[in-house]
Amino acid sequence: MELAHDRRGSGPPLVLLHGIGHHRHGWRPVLDLLAERHDVIAVDLPGFGDSPPLPYGTPYNAETLGRAVREFWTGLGLSRPHVAGNSLGGYIALDLASSADVRTAVALSPIGFWSRSEHVYARTVLRLLRQATRMGGLSALAADTAEGRALAMGLLVAHPQRLSREAVVAAATAMRECVGFEETLESMAWVAPPAPPQVPVTIAWGDRDRLLPRRQAVRAARWAGQRALLLRGCGHLPMSDDPELVARVILEGGAREGSR
């Protein structure tokens, strides 16, 4: 399946996966840093960003989205790349690690490690954000001031004032227009952790994550059989809050190949 993507750099391939309602451009703050050591491919998942939807009749869930990404990188001539993902993309990265379809996986605040109340809260917030974009509540006007950026993005990043107007508008547009949102959200009615990983994985969590609170990192660490890293001063989209820190975590995670 052909997917919209940005590609730069050289070295071992590294595929970047975004979360529900987001898009590949969320990785822009770290692309150049990662491209110093990797052939980096930031992908729009099917039905999100600029990518086409899944074929008619194909359900939207972590499994089908992950399969589409595998087909995409196979079409590029890649085999078992490194992968890093955020939120839903983080879960997909860990699921790919469970089937050994990747060399290593880095997951930033992945879904699937929530309690039932935390799960209901996350789905409610995501649905409200989606409704706000569709009703104009996260408009270009909101992005024109620091207060507006805080209102639009404060639940997702720890430092919304650091975002450019263009980044806020693009994020709102991606949330508003993604055709895969509703069905993907419904598929998250209850997502349990994947099977145990078969390759090295790294899990990192923003200590100021307001969508998936940091206590979920404890459950994720237990699943992985290792400590989860805390990203100081970062929210649910840590790429925007501290690009250097996030790039370092991803690069160090990729360097763990063969350590398992």
Range name among 29-38, 84-93, 149-158 with the lowest pLDDT average: 149-158
Q: What is the pLDDT of residues 88-114, one digit of tens each?
A: 999 999 999 999 999 999 999 999 999
Structure confidence by residue, pLDDT tens digits, 235-255: 999 999 999 999 999 999 998
The secondary structure of residue 228, as a DSSP letter, is P
What local confidence, expressed as pLDDT, does residue 191 receive? 81
Global pTM reads 0.94
Q: What's the mean pLDDT in 148-171?
A: 84
pLDDT band at 260 (very low <50, low <70, confident <90, very high): low
Residue 134: phi, psi to the nearest 5?
-75, -20
Question: Does position 165 have pLDDT exceeding 90, yes or no?
Answer: no
Question: pLDDT by residue (tens digit) across 11-21?
Answer: 999 999 999 99
68-77, pLDDT tens digit by residue? 999 999 999 9
Residue 46 has pLDDT above 90, yes or no: yes
**Amino acid 138: pLDDT:** 57
In contact, 159 and 241? CB cutoff 8 Å: yes
Does the pLDDT at position 140 exceed 60? no
Question: Mean pLDDT in the chain?
Answer: 92
107, 93 Cβ separation under 8 angstroms: yes
Is residue 217 pLDDT above 60, yes or no? yes
**What whole-number distance in Å separates Cα of residue 202 and Cα of residue 73?**
21
Domain residue extents for the chain: 5-254
What does the pLDDT average to over 130-143?
A: 70
User: How many Å apart are CA 162 and CA 248, to the nearest integer?
Assistant: 20
For residue 11, the 8-state DSSP code is: S
- When pLDDT is cut at 50, 70 and 90, the band that residue 216 belongs to is very high
What are residue 13's phi and psi, to 5 degrees?
-65, 140
Cβ-contact 9, 38 below 8 angstroms: yes
User: Helices (DSSP H) in the chain: which residue ranges?
Assistant: 28-35, 62-75, 88-98, 116-134, 146-153, 165-177, 181-187, 216-224, 238-241, 243-254
Q: What is the pLDDT of residue 143?
A: 60
**pLDDT score, position 169:** 86
Topology given in CATH for the domain delimited by 5-254: Rossmann fold (3.40.50)
pLDDT (0 to 100) of residue 120: 93
CB atoms within 10 A of CB 144: 13
Q: Write down the pLDDT at residue 52.
A: 97
Confidence band of 135 (pLDDT split at 50, 70, 90): confident
Examine the pLDDT at 33 and tell me if it is beyond 70. Answer: yes
